[in-house]
Amino acid sequence: MTEDIKFILSEIEDQYLHDDNPRPWIIGFSGGKDSTMLLQLVWLAIRALPKELRTRRIYVVCNDTLVENPKISSFIHKTLQDIQAEAVKQAMPITVHQTTPRLEDTFWVNLLGKGYPAPNNTFRWCTDRLKINPTTEFIKAKISEVGEAIILLGTRSDESATRARSIEKSKIHIESQRLRKHMLPNAFVFAPISDILTDDLWQYLLQVNPPWGGTHRDLITLYRNANGGDCPLVIDTTTPSCGNSRFGCWVCTVVKKDKSMDALIDNGEDWLEPLAEFRDMLQDNRNNREWRQKWRRNGSEQEQDEKDWGPYVPERRAYMLKILLQAQKEVQKTEKDLVLINFQELVAIQVTWHRDSIFQYSVASIFNDVYGTGYENSDFNDQNIFEKQILKEACQTEEDFELINELLEIQKSKYILVNNYGLQSDIENHIESYSKKL
Ligand code: SF4
């Protein structure tokens, strides 16, 4: 073990034991090399402590944008399962949590539902919605439970000049030797591997197996394949560095070419081709005048500048949904459980089309066309879906959600009948019978 690694392990251990009233640690885990190294070192440092001292909770949080590259997504999913299982076996105070964007924030609901144009550098509407907000909500929830939290990041100074600058700048806010303030109130950042160089990082991962089992071979292969056969020590600096991921979303049009996807296909993952073609279609037609409305979503008319063009016209939204479903059907020949767009998103798209007065296209008939199924329009037309999703996120437990949802249904039934008579007593009766049930 090198002196650097020994030093980092002792720093982690010291910080872990630092508070009397331990603030939880939240590790942002992307499955990439940096957060893998970070989690591995944290794990090893804490495992060396006697069990009775492992009292501080460690939450490993991984965000799924729902448009992850499927190859990377399945690798991360398997890793998270291993981490959770081994944490229990080894009595580690670690739990794994997966976050996802809210339904109204998903890529498909915005692109195909609202007609937002594919993101680019001037209108990058996706990063907050898909990557930043879900994790931020998780951190905020933990802070509201316990008062403060420490976020562990795998940021490193040698990654790029920009990163180096941002790490350097943030040192102005240093409160102690190791922690700096996070932009969220009552949150602090601890970046224990910030001084590790990329070559040393790979060297370490090549030599030391993960404490959650297996080897890092799959991770190294993934980097090698996604970098066009290069040695994993070479970093692909063209992929967007939003969130923690080196591999952007498979739909990403902020980069000119998705080199990771192309390299995976070149390395034998041919079944990913329909996804690459779909992304290219998005890219090629983003600024196609025929595809975009004159009207922006706020009602103003725009003609002049391409950056002011409105959302996609209804016909193109419907067309893209069809092509997406065809791509999904195609990839399911190889990966039968792979879902590119989920059922809730399809329902939300239909609801959004109706809100936009789009009645000439229906999600059900597009789906039936592609899959040969017999869905009715009403199967994709649950007006309550957004409200239910928001309510679910706001409730702390399933029981809270169930009760409040039922009370809302009672209230709605009165509303539909344009008659509020007896609403209060109905609600009181329901709460009473519900509490007897518990
Ligand atoms: S990877 Fe691309 S599509 Fe995904 S959130 Fe980042 S900029 Fe948006």
Which protein residue has the closest C-alpha to ligand 1 atom 3? Answer: 252
- CA 172 from centre of chain: 30
The answer to whether the CB of 391 falls within 8 A of the CB of 401 is: yes
Is 315 domain-assigned?
A: no
Helix (H) or strand (E) holding 431: helix 423-437
pLDDT tens digits along 54-102: 999 999 999 999 999 998 899 899 999 999 999 999 999 999 999 999 9
- Grade residue 233 by pLDDT with cuts at 50, 70 and 90: very low
CATH number for the domain harbouring residue 53: 3.40.50.620
pLDDT at 107: 98
Task: Categorize the per-residue pLDDT at 239 as very low, low, confident or very high, splitting at 50, 70 and 90.
Answer: very low
225 within some domain:
no
Domain that holds residue 8: 3-101+128-216
pLDDT given at position 236: 31
Q: What does the alpha-carbon distance between residue 255 and residue 387 come to, in Å, rounded to a whole number?
A: 34
pLDDT in tens, 392-415: 778 878 888 888 877 776 665 555
pLDDT at 108: 98
Residue 96 domain-assigned (yes or no) = yes
DSSP β-bridge partners for residue 187: 149
Does residue 240 lie within any of the structural domains? no
pLDDT of 171 reads: 46
pLDDT of 390 > 60? The answer is yes
Question: Residue 235 has what pLDDT?
Answer: 26
pLDDT score for 267: 84
Tell me what pLDDT residue 168 has: 54
Q: Rounded to the nearest 10 degrees, what angle do helices 217-226 and 198-207 cross at?
A: 140
CA of 97 to the centre of ligand 1 (A): 21
Residue that is last in its domain, among 216, 237, 265: 216
Sheet containing 58-63, strands listed edge to edge, beginning at the edge strand earlier in sequence:
94-99, 58-63, 25-28, 149-152, 187-190, 179-181
Q: Calculate how far, in angstroms, residue 65's C-alpha sits from the geometric centre of ligand 1.
A: 9
Residue 252 lies in a domain: no
Q: Which of 69, 124, 259 to mutate to test the pocket of ligand 1 (most atoms within 8 A of CB)?
A: 124
| 258 in a structural domain | no
Residue 172 pLDDT > 60: no
- For residue 95, list its beta bridge partners: 59
Domain count for the chain: 2
Per-residue confidence (pLDDT) for residue 304, from 0 to 100: 60
Predicted model pTM: 0.80
Please give the number of the atom of ligand 1 that sits closest to the Cα of 240: 1
Answer whether residue 51 shows pLDDT above 90.
Answer: yes
Residues near 7 by beta carbon (within 8 Å), at least 6 away in sequence: none
- pLDDT band (50, 70, 90) for residue 422: low
Q: Please give the pLDDT value at position 87.
A: 97
Which atom belonging to ligand 1 lies closest to the Cα atom of 255? 2
Residue 255 lies in a domain: no
Which residue's CA lies nearest to atom 5 of ligand 1? 127
The domain boundary residue, chosen from 194, 216, 238: 216
- Among 182, 216, 250, the domain-final residue is 216
CA distances to 112, 278, 369, 433 from 323, in Å: 11, 7, 11, 49
Taking the centre of ligand 1 as the mean of its atom positions, its distance from the CA of residue 7, in whole angstroms, is 35
Determine which residue's CA is closest to atom 2 belonging to ligand 1.
252
User: What is the model's pLDDT at position 295?
Assistant: 74
Q: Does residue 354 belong to any structural domain of this protein?
A: no
Whether the per-residue pLDDT at 293 is higher than 50: the answer is yes
- Is 231's pLDDT higher than 50? no
